């Protein structure tokens, strides 16, 4: 019973081509190309290529893409119901691109088909089918940072953004001022240390800094004292 339930819930993964990757993981879909160097698999809404040295093994099967193609070939060009049903079937099998393609065939035959319009993201406004963007704009919405908003919401968001920017600018100025104050304090401390070091050097080496007096002449203030001669 459990196996039957799994078959019902995951038919796409049980019948598709499956590429198992070394180290774990797999890709399920339809293999478009396989050579000695690489394999390319279509998973319905895109493709992926893998180098064969990454591949553990490949299991071939009939993918939902194959079944979609087979069902589409059986439909007549004017079969609105058939294309609508195929669009729904593709959506349930995880084939969004194929589902959109089928629903677009429906709209080409029946532009006001509700199921196809809604499946493709259209919204009815004032009796007209509009795309999502058109419907928002028709109702006065605008896009702010990728999000649809009413004019009042947009104004509020812009005010909030302006306040946040002003706060960020103030924080940056405060941080810059603090940094400059810290650098000035460090520079002052370094200057004071150099001055102290220079004063110590001069005190410890007086010969290098003779002192002169004024009067009848000049000379050193301290004469050499021969050894043993009292002053």
Beginning with the edge strand found earlier in the chain, give each strand of the sheet holding 55-59 in spatial order: 47-51, 38-42, 26-34, 17-21, 55-59
Q: Provide the b/e sequence for 123-139 (b: ≥16 CB within 10 Å).
A: beeeeebbeeeebbeee
pLDDT value of residue 228: 57
120 and 70 co-located in one domain: yes
pLDDT value of residue 211: 53
Q: Give the pLDDT confidence of 40-89 residue by residue, as tens digits.
A: 988 777 888 899 888 888 888 777 888 898 999 999 999 999 999 999 99
Distance CA(221)–CA(205), nearest Å, equals 16
Given a contact cutoff of 8 angstroms between Cβ atoms, the answer to whether 141 and 112 are in contact is no
79 and 41 co-located in one domain: no
Q: Structure pTM?
A: 0.47
* Residue 171 within any structural domain of the chain: yes
Longest distance between any two alpha carbons in the chain, whole Å: 134
Distance CA(94)–CA(9), nearest Å, equals 12
Give the tokens for residue 67: 């079944």
* Residue 150 within any structural domain of the chain: yes
148 and 113 co-located in one domain: no
16 and 58 co-located in one domain: yes
11 and 39 co-located in one domain: yes
Residue 145 region, left (φ>0) first, then alpha (ψ -120 to 50), else beta?
A: left
Alpha-carbon distances of 211 from 197, 204, 205, 208, rounded to whole Å = 20, 15, 13, 10
Given a contact cutoff of 8 angstroms between Cβ atoms, the answer to whether 74 and 90 are in contact is no
25 and 42 co-located in one domain: yes
Distance CA(94)–CA(114), nearest Å, equals 21
82 and 48 co-located in one domain: no
Given a contact cutoff of 8 angstroms between Cβ atoms, the answer to whether 47 and 63 are in contact is no
* Residue 218 within any structural domain of the chain: no
Distance CA(102)–CA(64), nearest Å, equals 14
pLDDT value of residue 90: 93
* Residue 230 within any structural domain of the chain: no
Residue at which a domain ends, from 152, 167, 189:
189
Q: What is the domain extent for residue 175? A: 140-189
Q: Give the pLDDT confidence of 111-151 residue by residue, as tens digits.
A: 999 999 999 999 888 888 888 788 778 777 877 777 777 77
Given a contact cutoff of 8 angstroms between Cβ atoms, the answer to whether 98 and 44 are in contact is yes
* Residue 117 within any structural domain of the chain: yes
Distance CA(110)–CA(96), nearest Å, equals 20
* Residue 227 within any structural domain of the chain: no
Q: Give the pLDDT confidence of 185-225 residue by residue, as tens digits.
A: 888 888 888 888 888 888 877 655 555 545 555 455 555 55
Looking at the 3D structure of the chain, how many domains does it have?
3
CA–CA–CA angle 190, 196, 202 (5° rounding)? 135
pLDDT value of residue 163: 78
- H helices of the chain, where? 2-9, 11-15, 64-74, 80-92, 96-109, 114-119, 132-138, 151-204
* Residue 204 within any structural domain of the chain: no
144 and 111 co-located in one domain: no
């Amino acid at each position: 019973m459990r196996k039957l339930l799994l078959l019902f819930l995951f038919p796409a993964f049980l019948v598709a081509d499956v590429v198992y990757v070394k180290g774990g993981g797999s890709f399920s879909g339809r293999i478009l190309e396989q050579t000695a160097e690489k394999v390319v698999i279509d998973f319905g809404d895109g493709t992926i290529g893998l180098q064969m040295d990454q591949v553990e093994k490949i299991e071939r099967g009939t993918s939902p893409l194959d079944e979609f193609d087979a069902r589409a070939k059986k439909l007549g060009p004017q079969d609105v119901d058939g294309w609508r049903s195929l669009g729904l079937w593709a959506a349930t099998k995880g084939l969004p691109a194929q589902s959109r393609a089928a629903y677009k065939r429906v709209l080409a035959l029946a532009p006001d088909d509700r199921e196809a319009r809604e499946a493709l993201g259209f919204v009815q406004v004032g009796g007209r089918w509009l795309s999502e963007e058109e419907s928002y704009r028709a109702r006065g919405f605008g896009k702010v940072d990728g999000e649809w908003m009413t004019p009042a919401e947009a104004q509020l968001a812009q005010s909030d953004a302006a306040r946040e920017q002003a706060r960020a600018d103030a924080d940056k100025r405060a941080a810059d001022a603090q940094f400059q104050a810290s650098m000035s304090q460090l520079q002052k401390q370094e200057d004071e240390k150099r001055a102290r070091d220079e004063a110590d050097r001069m005190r410890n080496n007086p010969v290098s800094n003779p002192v002169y007096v004024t009067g009848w002449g000049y000379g050193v203030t301290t004469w050499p004292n021969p050894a043993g001669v009292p002053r």
